Structure 1
């Protein structure tokens, strides 16, 4: 009889646990985990158990999330919403998840990111994954505003890889003062400008591999030097080893201790320099300085020669004027007299036309 009672209690507990799991989801109280993977869900399911710490809602058809989507999930620390085709994240969507430490929004289509989309109570968020998450590169302006307004002062890791980013707005990371890891690989960044990484003095890892950097000008080098503690990755960029690359090559040799893939950095263009180590470019003779010195000498010589020629022409002209001074003076007088006669003729004609008596006489003659 006791054994039967125990079985009934066990079944009741089992049924209650099963009943608390949302439809089309898998729940494990022991692992504090709920998974709703590839279930064609159109919204965040309701009835997620309060014990949930790890919540995986991935591979569904959820287009928008807002504050009402994640109510009552105070214990969730790891939330994955990847691959859901999410296009809009409203402000304070995650504000109720006061224990949230890791948020994965990768592989979505974020076109609208509201200013306080990533605000979390107690600023508990440590990891934010936005890899392959932005709908297009124009969404980066929304993202910049959200990173500024979402109170992410305790964020440690940010992944923005595989987003086709062409540029980064100035000071986009300035409010992420505690960021340690920044992933920017597999984008289309063509330059590093002043204030690109402003505010990231504590950064420890910066991945810029597989972008479109042909060189890093002095402005960009100063920006990278403003990250004194960061280990850098710069591989798989199409570096062009022409004269303009020399300051960058010299900087690489000076800073190779903090560049994790320095030995693997090679020239992509021109063809004659392809696969040449970037560390060797600084010591190679590209002909830049020699050409520049020679060109400067040639240019200076040309200026001197041109000055001599122009001076000689000027002297000849003055000499010709001197020899023909009488004829020139006579010609000037003749032009003056001709102009005076022309002026007097016009003046006389004007007086005739303006005399009313002459006008009346002319009218009577016509009658």
Structure 2
């Protein structure tokens, strides 16, 4: 009889656990995991068990996340919302997830990100994945505001790869004082400037591979030097243009080899004559640029001086010839003056003759 009672209680417990699992989701209390994968969900399902620590709601048709989306899920530590169609994340959407440590929003279409979209109580969030998540370039401004206002002082890893980013707003990471890993690979970043990397006092790894960096300006080099000495950099697969002016960057690469994980793999992409040349060798190969330019400047200055001397000499000869022919020139000027005077007097005389008949006709017309 006792065994039967125990079985009934066990069945009841199992039934309650099964009943608490949302439709079209899979729940495992033993693994503290709930999966709602590719179920064509339009919103976050209700009735998710309170024991859930790992929540996967991926590959659905969810378009919006709000403060009501995750109520009663204080135990969730890992939340994946990847491969949905989320376009808007409201402020405090994850505030109730007091133990949230990892948030994955990759492969979405975030167009509107509210200022406190990533705020989590207790500042427990450690990893934020926004790879392939931004809808367009304008959403990066919303992201910058959210990173400032969402109290992410304990965030350790941020993934912004594969977003087509052309630029990053000034001081976008300045409030992420505990950030250790920043992934910016496979974007379209053309430069590092404007205090983009300000505030990253504990950064350990910065991935800038597969961007559009042709060189790094002196301002960008200063920003990279402002990072902690222990920061490892990745710069591969960028279209470095090895022409005059890249020497400071090439020299910096040689000086900073210990920090650049792929330093030996960095190659020139342009011009064609320098393609596949190691960037570490560019410093010694192109240092003659300035020497050649200096030689060209000297040659050009010499040409200008020589041209000035020639022109001055020609001018002196011309003045000397004028001086020798001053009497003849004077006579020609007088002759031209007399010829002009005769022409003018002839024209005046003909005008007076032609005007006589017209005047007589006018007077006779008046008499009539």
CA contact (8 A) 1:42 1:63 kept: yes
Instruction: Work out whether 1:241 is the aligned partner of 2:242.
Output: yes
CA contact (8 A) 2:247 2:286 kept: no
Change (3 A) 1:96 1:318: farther
Instruction: Work out whether 1:173 is the aligned partner of 2:170.
Output: no
Q: Secondary structure at the match of 1:232?
A: strand
Partner of residue 271, structure 1: 272
Give the CA deviation at 1:266.
1.2
Instruction: Work out whether 1:294 is the aligned partner of 2:287.
Output: no
Post-superposition CA distance 1:110-158 (Å, at most 9, x none): 1111111111112111110000101122221111111111111111110
Partner of residue 197, structure 1: 197
Partner of residue 344, structure 2: none
Please give the residue correspondences for 1:125-204 in structure 2 after superposition, counting only pairs within 5 Å: 125-204=125-204
Instruction: Work out whether 1:257 is the aligned partner of 2:258.
Output: yes
Detail structure 1 runs of 4+ shifted over 3 Å in the superposition: 309-328
Residues in 2 aligned to 1:146 and 1:291: alpha-carbon distance in whole angstroms: 50
Instruction: Work out whether 1:222 is the aligned partner of 2:222.
Output: yes
Residues in 2 aligned to 1:318 and 1:228: alpha-carbon distance in whole angstroms: 72
Structure 1 residues without counterparts, runs of 5 or longer = 339-364
Post-superposition CA distance 1:131-187 (Å, at most 9, x none): 010112222111111111111111111000011111111111111111110000111
CA contact (8 A) 2:244 2:286 kept: no
Residues in 1 aligned to 2:323 and 2:303: alpha-carbon distance in whole angstroms: 30
Residues in 1 aligned to 2:286 and 2:215: alpha-carbon distance in whole angstroms: 18
Residues in 1 aligned to 2:137 and 2:5: alpha-carbon distance in whole angstroms: 63
Post-superposition CA distance 1:37-75 (Å, at most 9, x none): 111110001111111111111110000111111111111
Q: Secondary structure at the match of 1:69?
A: coil
Post-superposition CA distance 1:256-312 (Å, at most 9, x none): 000001111111222222222111222225641332122111121023223324544
Give the CA deviation at 1:235.
0.8
Residues in 2 aligned to 1:240 and 1:119: alpha-carbon distance in whole angstroms: 42
Residues in 1 aligned to 2:185 and 2:127: alpha-carbon distance in whole angstroms: 17
TM-score (norm 2): 0.85
Instruction: Work out whether 1:211 is the aligned partner of 2:195.
Output: no
Q: Secondary structure at the match of 1:259?
A: coil
Give the CA deviation at 1:220.
1.2
Partner of residue 73, structure 1: 73
Partner of residue 346, structure 2: none
Query: Aligned pairs, how many?
Result: 345
Residues in 2 aligned to 1:29 and 1:146: alpha-carbon distance in whole angstroms: 34
Q: Secondary structure at the match of 2:23?
A: coil
Partner of residue 30, structure 2: 30
TM-score (norm 1): 0.85
Please give the residue correspondences for 1:46-85 in structure 2 after superposition, counting only pairs within 5 Å: 46-85=46-85
- Alignment RMSD (CA, Å): 2.8
